[in-house]
Structure 1
Amino acid sequence: PLTADLPVSAALAPVPPLVIKSGMQGASRTGRWKVPAKITAHGGMAGVRLDFTRVECALPEVEIEAYGEMAGVTIVVPEGWWVDSDDVDPGVGGLRNKTFHPETRLPGTPLLRVTGKGGMAGITIRYPNFLERRRLEKAKGQ
């Protein structure tokens, strides 16, 4: 009650949940963006891509609800992050979690808990590929 009327610092303010739907054009969240505690992604007709490789996330855990639908959902995470996808219903499109086991998780990195359904196109969780790693290295050098 004593601090209820004080302004909240922008750095400490909670980020509202993110709902991202692809529709006919596709949708993505890439580059530097503020990660909320809950994300819902609908693959729709053109797919969704969530790229966590350039984000700074102080949250210990992020919940991602993914629905592959017709075009799928792709989640790209930095090396050292771990993604728990045990509660995903693979559907027809399946689930491909190419991240490693929990013991490879680096200290201070968030745990991503993925739930939802693969739908027709599925859900893919992976580390950056060769070209993405090259772009990240170039961005660090600038």
Structure 2
Amino acid sequence: MFKRKLLTAFITSILSIILISFLTPIDSLFGEMDNYWKSVLYSPLAYAMYVLPGVFLYGLPTSLLIGAVTNKMEAGQFQFSIIGHAFFGILPCFILWFLTIYSLGIALLFCIVDHMLSRKREIKAAT
């Protein structure tokens, strides 16, 4: 399970950095955007400094905890996993302020990627 969660954290980090770079280029935060595409190209490095530690130091242990709790359930594992990820995605709102929507989005993306990887392993094991 740890290998899958680690792979999930890596995939989620890459996707999150790319999505946030396109949605909010770094220059738009300072109000001086000259060229959108130039700003998008410089944004991933700046966002990686925040997304990578957040996903690996906060999201990965949180997801391991949620996974340990939901694996004991027989029904509704995915639903409770989504609720748990959403709760822990909103929880750092006191630190992140207006970036909480990104935190929630990254948490839900983590949950969905993890679910897709677990389904892929279940299908692979069944054949």
- State whether TM-score is above 0.5: no
Name the one with the larger helix percent.
2
Name the one with the larger strand percent.
1
TM-score relative to the length of structure 2? 0.27
Larger RCO of the pair (alpha carbons < 8 Å, separation 6+)? 2
TM-score relative to the length of structure 1? 0.25
